[in-house]
Structure 1
């Protein structure tokens, strides 16, 4: 479960940064909303999956509610998912 959550968190973080630094400037500075619609839809899907996986990983990592809240908060802070991965998921042993 944790390796899947790591992948989702990275994809969610990348999609969020793409929205903030690529598609939003394209939308408002160059009047090109199409990339924002596509990336925005993907980001919304990844965001929801991130939330679900955070709740699924909570018992496996034995997080308390405060840690879960921090992990969830990281999904709305730029670069937060990358920090969360390093701090709370750490290295996962390969099977």
Structure 2
């Protein structure tokens, strides 16, 4: 899965959504219950995965038009947007493996 840009994109799209969920739970605990530990743990994790998602998206930008790349980047902002974008991109053939991907 990690040997191709498409595989890395799919992995980081899912990881970004999971880290968003962790961060949202941490924020809930911080503002409703009190302890900040969830935000302290998931904040940096989500930040790192977010950066990795953006980088791997830019690695795939050469095969997409500007509009697709734009929406891939925008999908990283709302919670779970990367999963919706990844599913759409898979369905429409935007994530089709090529011979140069090493698949």
Specify the TM-score bucket, using the shorter chain as the normaliser: 0.7 to 0.9
Shift of 1:89: 3.4
Q: Which residue of 1 aligns with 2:86?
A: 85
Q: Which residue of 1 aligns with 2:7?
A: 3
Alignment partner of 2:16 out of 4, 7, 12: 12
Q: With structure 2 as the length reference, what TM-score do the two structures score?
A: 0.80
Which structure's residues are more often helix, by fraction?
1
Shift of 1:8: 0.9
Q: With structure 1 as the length reference, what TM-score do the two structures score?
A: 0.87
Which ranges of 4 or more aligned residues in structure 1 deviate by more than 3 Å?
A: 89-93
Cα RMSD, aligned residues only: 1.5
Q: Unaligned regions of 5+ residues in structure 1, if any?
A: none
Which digits, 9 at most, give the CA deviation of each residue in 1:56-82, with x for residues without a partner? Answer: 0122xx211111110000001122111
Q: Which residue of 2 aligns with 1:24?
A: 27
Cα separation, 1, equivalents of 2:41 and 2:96: 32
* Paired residues of 1:3 and 1:92 also in contact (CA < 8 A): no
Cα separation, 1, equivalents of 2:80 and 2:33: 25
Shift of 1:92: 5.3
Cα separation, 2, equivalents of 1:81 and 1:16: 10
